[in-house]
């Protein structure tokens, strides 16, 4: 047993894991497909938010949200997707990871719907204006896109959403109850950092939609 700094009771083999959780049923395994179909396509067409998981060559992982008007992820065919890359903080964790390791995972979320769609595949960064032009929003064509060749696509059941009460308005949290981004930045940068000014300026940029597209 390899162990961990907090416990020796770790699970270190697939056999040990299966002893605890069991094996998937034949019906569950049957939902996996190497391409989309007329039904699973609808989850992508109606989704305004997708979580993109990437990993570098050393195994360091990252998950990043991508959001736009619903259906922003283009279905080029049943085995190929195109995600437009919008302006961000330019750290570009996801993009740099893809250059090092093309394997990606996508989780498509639809507001109010517990079921989600999972897609795993191989990503390629592109700058092809012809492919990216239909992704334009507010007249701005993305400079970079993520082309995904699908390896597997399958629906994810709603148990997690139901357990989390994810779409129950009674469970929604007022943003003011959490620390602001300015307060977090101040904690990281020291007492001289002006958290209030940072928050005001950030809110102003968002209100003007600066850098959205």
Q: What is the pLDDT of residues 94-118, one digit of tens each?
A: 999 999 999 999 999 999 999 999 9
pLDDT of residue 26: 95
Q: pTM for this one?
A: 0.94
Which residues have a Cβ under 8 Å from the Cβ of 8 and sit 6 or more positions away?
A: 1
Assign 3 a pLDDT band (cuts: 50, 70, 90). Answer: confident
Of 88 and 65, the structure prediction assigns the larger pLDDT to 65
Rounded mean pLDDT of 30-41? 96
**pLDDT tens sequence across 66-80:** 999 999 999 999 999
Domains along the sequence of the chain with CATH: 23-164 (2.30.110.10), 173-207 (no CATH)
**pLDDT tens sequence across 149-201:** 999 999 999 999 999 999 999 999 999 999 999 999 999 999 999 999 999 99
């Amino acid at each position: 047993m390899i162990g961990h700094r907090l416990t020796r009771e770790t699970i270190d083999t697939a056999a040990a894991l299966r002893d605890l959780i069991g094996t998937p049923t034949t019906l569950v395994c049957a939902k996996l497909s190497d391409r989309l179909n007329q039904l699973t396509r609808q989850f992508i067409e109606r989704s305004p938010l997708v979580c993109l998981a990437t990993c570098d060559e050393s195994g360091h992982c990252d998950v990043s949200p991508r959001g736009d008007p619903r259906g922003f992820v283009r279905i080029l065919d049943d085995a190929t997707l195109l995600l437009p890359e919008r302006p961000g903080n330019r750290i570009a964790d996801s993009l740099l990871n893809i250059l090092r390791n093309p394997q990606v995972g996508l989780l498509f979320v639809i507001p109010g719907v517990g079921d989600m769609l999972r897609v795993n595949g191989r990503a390629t960064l592109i700058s092809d204006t012809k492919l990216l032009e239909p992704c334009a929003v507010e007249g701005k064509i993305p400079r970079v896109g993520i082309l995904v060749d699908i390896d597997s696509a399958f629906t994810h059941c709603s148990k997690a959403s139901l357990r989390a009460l994810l779409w129950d308005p009674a469970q929604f949290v007022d943003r003011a109850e959490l620390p602001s981004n300015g307060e977090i930045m101040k904690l990281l940068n020291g007492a001289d950092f002006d958290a209030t000014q940072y928050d005001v300026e950030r809110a102003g940029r968002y209100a003007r939609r600066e850098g959205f597209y």
